[in-house]
Amino acid sequence: MIDTHAHLNFENFSSDYSEVIKRSLENNVRLIINVGTNLVTSQKAVDLAEENESCRATVGCHPLEIEEGNFDLEQYRNLIIENQNKVKAVGEIGLDYYYSQKEKVQQKEILIRQISLAQEFKLPLILHCRGDKEKPFEAYQELLEILKKDSFSGIKGVAHCFGANWSLAKKFLDLGFLISFTGIVTFKNAGDQLLEVVKKVPLDKFLLETDSPYLAPAPYRGQRNEPSYIPLIAQRIADLKEVSLEEVSKVTTLSAQKLFNLS
């Protein structure tokens, strides 16, 4: 299996990432994609990929990491150029209105520039999307509007930690995007809406991810998450979809290999 979204590049793992990677291999999670959220963590993801055969990297600026006048696309471009065999996507990028809507215009502008960067290198996108409490789906709708632009036709990617309803999930699938699920699917309060998406999404249209160190699946909820827990997420999805764990493992691994061009 592949953990398509982890952050072993974060401080939380600085002292024991080697053991974490070892445990992941022991649990049949053979590849870990460490996702960048700013320049520092993107560089660290690349470093981990250089150092570990079972790691790959993505490069990108998370919407909550955008600081006024502080985003330099050229530095992200250089990181990709210098590490083309290790960088497998641009991400995580997107829209996050949870804390504040005031930087909406800036978030969109920087998102669009990063999608163009992905196009330049024929890389897929890892999309982060979160709305505010009052209008939880507005950010998803606005993200879809951007992805639908003619100039972005043909671009591929995944809506990570998918948190909207089936109707929005279907719109991503219709655009050729995948969605991905975290340990939230194992939570008692996962919610009918998310479980409906899990049940309805075709087996070959979703990916598995931990989003480590966040969102540890049951029975580790609340603790530091790690890629070795991927089988717990896969098992829950297999139960919900009434298929075998082997089937979920096989198909999601193929989908991840295809999307991220992994050998």
Which of 96/211 has CB closer to Ni ion?
A: 211
- Closest distance of CB 9 from Ni ion, Å: 10
Q: How far apart are CA 250 and CA 23, in angstroms?
A: 20
Closest to Ni ion by CB, 5 vs 86, is 5
Nearer to Ni ion, 45 or 147 (CB): 45
State the residue for tokens 């053979």.
30
Binding footprint of Ni ion, residue count (CB under 5 A):
1
Nearer to Ni ion, 91 or 238 (CB): 91
Q: What minimum distance in Å lies between the beta carbon of 92 and Ni ion?
A: 5
Subset of residues 120 to 179 that bind Ni ion, contact rule: CB under 5 A: none
Contacts to Ni ion from residues 45-74, by CB under 5 A: none
CA distance 16 to 190: 30
Pairwise CA distance, residues 6 & 12, whole Å: 12
- Looking at this protein, which amino acid is placed at residue 33? I
Nearer to Ni ion, 96 or 142 (CB): 96
> One symbol per residue from 199 to 228: x for binding Ni ion (CB under 5 A), - otherwise; what is it?
------------x-----------------
Residue 20 C-beta: closest distance to Ni ion, Å: 16
Q: Which is nearer to Ni ion, 142 or 211 (CB)?
A: 211
Shortest distance, CB of residue 242 to Ni ion, whole angstroms?
29
CA dist 45 and 53 (Å) reads 13
Min. distance of Cβ 13 from Ni ion in angstroms? 13
User: Nearest distance from residue 211's CB to Ni ion, in Å?
Assistant: 5
β partners of residue 91: 126
Residue nearest to Ni ion as judged by C-beta position: 211
Binding site for Ni ion (CB under 5 A): 211
